[in-house]
Structure 1
Amino acid sequence: MGLENLDAYQRGVEGTHIIGSPFFPVYVLIGGAGATLGLIIAMLFAKSTRYKTLGKLAIIPSLIGVNEPVIFGMPLVLNVRFMIPFILTPLVSSGLAILLTTLGILPVLHGIQVPLGIPVLVNGWMNGGWRVSAFQLVMIGASFMIYYPFFKKADAEALEQEQQAEAKAAATAAAN
């Protein structure tokens, strides 16, 4: 299907297939599996040192679709707390992309298979122009809003653990 859209694009007409190979990296995997770029942005404003550091380490790779630092560093793997946003965020993004493309607000993607490593927003622009990039920007904000309530609870728990560890270390140092 993606090749048919690419062929149409090369002839100067719009493709007919909404879902093709570029659909997933452009719309579904914004920031990697689970569309975690919004979560990583939330980490940049974390109160706990653990998550603030992880956010700083994960932001650049996530911009190019590599989110293993957060997948395994958080960890999101088998994490029941983050199961809902991890599944919901890509569903919302893809559902809105299909709806807006059907309504003609977003263009049908050209069918260009952009290689991994092309940053979010740039890959959207390459596949459909400024409207696709603008939609990706909106979906990054939506990802942030979906993940934030779940992250806020995890951050509060991590901050409490850090404070307890500091108090224990201070008590141990005072005892010696």
Structure 2
Amino acid sequence: MQLMLLVGGAIFNQAYTTTFNVMALWGSIGIAYIYVKNEGYEPLAGGLTACASFLMLQTLAIDSPLKAALTSGINNGQMSGKVVAENIDKLPHALQTFLEAPVTGVININWLGGDGMIAAIIVGLIVGWAYSAMMKAGWTIKLPKQVPPAVSNQFTAMIPAGVILIVTMLIFGAFNNFAHTDFLQWVYKTIQSPLQGVSDSFGGAVVIAFLVPFFWFFGVHGGLIVGSIAGSLLQANSFDNAQLYRAGKLTIANGAHVVTNEFYNNFINLTGSGITIGLVIFILIAAKSAQMKSLGKLELVPGIFNINEPFLFGMPIVMNPFLAIPFFLTSIVVAISTYCVIRFGIVPPLNGMAAPWTTPAVISGFLIGGWKMAIWQACTLVISTLIYWPFAKKYDNILLKREQANETK
């Protein structure tokens, strides 16, 4: 059994490391690719140039694994890791140098995942813009029309790609020699880490929970707008949690995040923006107006899969003052309560698993946090019902009176 667990763990670890843990690299390629494609040029070369630039901007070295192993705090039968760490400077100079020497000529995979996400977005956008601008300006090698496109495209890309890579080398050299760091580390420390802290705060959770229904109330896709701004930060938080989960250290004390991409998808947007399942439940149980009854039947199945556009535009909830309060309030209450139950250890932090946003409630809770999270997700459905019920009942009575008035005419 132990052997099966070890083998299975190694297989899943390999799959995770080479897919989920290199999302920043894929992101830099994809962003530049789409940018260049939207500008009307052959996109593959732009995406590959962004990939090369992203890799070129990081220091090809990792800290000494020997020193890390000695100072990990694991007893070795003679001295604890703490003792070694406190006395390493007393060792012979040659041995100190050997233990502390970084491993060079290797790619630090940490920067290919969550830690490099914001840098990847910056690189992808800048490379996509620069490549397209040079193509538009005619900085290309022009070949006769008789040359096949597969060949001519490679020559066409040589000058823009070459200029971008030369500039990338200069940027790396500037950071390395004057700032004693690299671009990816600098972006992480000065931009990504502070923003992740803001997004993972109590205030960040409340703001996100407010903005999604706020935009939707005016008919604008709130999830798309908020996701485009906060999505990369929340995804980076998910990456961090996934790393802790793999190491068996997923606790708030060890630095686990509360507000992650799963927090956003599977709680703030559970059953759709505004968590409208409570409105569906009211309609199925107590609605009397024909309009509500028909929309409730229409929304039930989509709502199970977290799609509620039929409600937003059919009820409508958009620009509807009668349903505005529960639409805003439910998201905020669920965000606050979920933040608190995770922060205070009532349920475990989210494990970073990327459950599809269409995964039904309770099932998604189990996938992203185990049985406790599944139970809590069920509780949020009850919260939604309690908040929507009195407002939905009032609105249902208004609709019923209108229908009765129309019948008497």
TM-score clears 0.5: yes
1: CA distance between counterparts of 2:350 and 2:387? 26
Measure the CA separation in 1 of the matches of 2:358 and 2:260: 19
Which consecutive unaligned segments of at least 5 residues does structure 2 have? 1-236
Q: Which residue of 2 aligns with 1:43?
A: 283
What displacement does 1:11 show?
Answer: 2.3
1:172 corresponds in structure 2 to none
Q: Establish whether residue 165 from structure 1 lines up as the match of residue 406 from structure 2.
A: yes
Q: Which consecutive unaligned segments of at least 5 residues does structure 1 have?
A: 169-176
- Is 1:34 the counterpart of 2:274 in the alignment? yes
Give, as a single letter, the amino acid of the residue that structure 2 aligns with 1:14. L
Greater RCO, CA 8 A, separation 6+: 1
1:122 aligns with 2:363: yes
Report the CA distance between 1:94 and its aligned residue.
0.8
Larger radius of gyration: 2
Partner Cα distance (2:303, 2:264) in 1: 15
Asked whether the equivalents of residues 40 and 70 of structure 1 are also in contact (C-alpha less than 8 Å), the reply is no
1:19 aligns with one of 259, 263, 269 = 259
Partner residue, 1:69: 310
- Is the CA contact 1:9–1:110 (under 8 Å) kept in the aligned structure 2? yes
Distance 1:151 1:28 in 2: 20
Counterparts of 1:84 and 1:122, CA distance in 2: 28
Counterpart contact for 1:54–1:73, Cα < 8 Å: yes
Provide the rounded CA distance (Å) in 2 between the counterparts of 1:78 and 1:164.
Answer: 23
**Residue 117 of structure 1: CA displacement?**
2.1
Is 1:6 matched up with 2:279? no
In 1, Cα distance between equivalents of 2:331 and 2:374: 16
- Post-superposition, which runs of at least 4 consecutive aligned residues in structure 1 deviate over 4 A? none
Task: Provide, for residues 9-28 of structure 1, a one-character-per-residue CA deviation record: whole Å limited to 9, x for no partner.
Answer: 12233151111111112221
CA RMSD for the aligned pairs? 1.2
- Amino acid corresponding to residue 290 of structure 2 in structure 1: T
Cα shift at 1:116? 2.6
Provide the C-alpha distance between the structure 1 equivalents of 2:336 and 2:357, rounded to a whole number of angstroms.
23
Distance between the aligned counterparts of 1:114 and 1:129, measured in 2? 12
User: Given the two structures, how large is their TM-score scaled by the length of structure 2?
Assistant: 0.40
Contact 2:266-2:357 at 8 Å conserved across structures:
no
Contact kept, 8 Å, 1:44 with 1:51, in 2: the verdict is no
Q: CA deviation at 1:146?
A: 0.7
- CA distance in structure 1 between the partners assigned to 2:374 and 2:300 by the alignment: 18
In the alignment, is residue 92 of structure 1 matched against residue 333 of structure 2?
yes
Which structure's residues are more often helix, by fraction?
Answer: 2
Residue 386 of structure 2: which of 136, 145, 162 is its match? 145
Q: Kindly provide the amino acid, as one letter, of the partner of residue 140 in structure 1.
A: L
Find the residue that maps to 1:145 and give its secondary structure: helix
Determine whether 1:101 maps to 2:342. Answer: yes
Report deviation, 1:109: 0.2
Q: With structure 1 as the length reference, what TM-score do the two structures score?
A: 0.90
**Deviation of residue 35 (structure 1)?**
1.0
Give distance in 2, aligned partners of 1:53 and 1:44. Answer: 10
What SS does the aligned partner of 1:115 have? coil
Q: Give, in angstroms, the shift of residue 68 of structure 1.
A: 0.4
Give % identity.
36
Deviates more, 1:66-75 or 1:153-162: 153-162
Q: What is the match of residue 174 of structure 1? A: none
Superposed CA offset, 1:28-77 (max 9, x none): 11211011111111111211111011111101111111010111111011
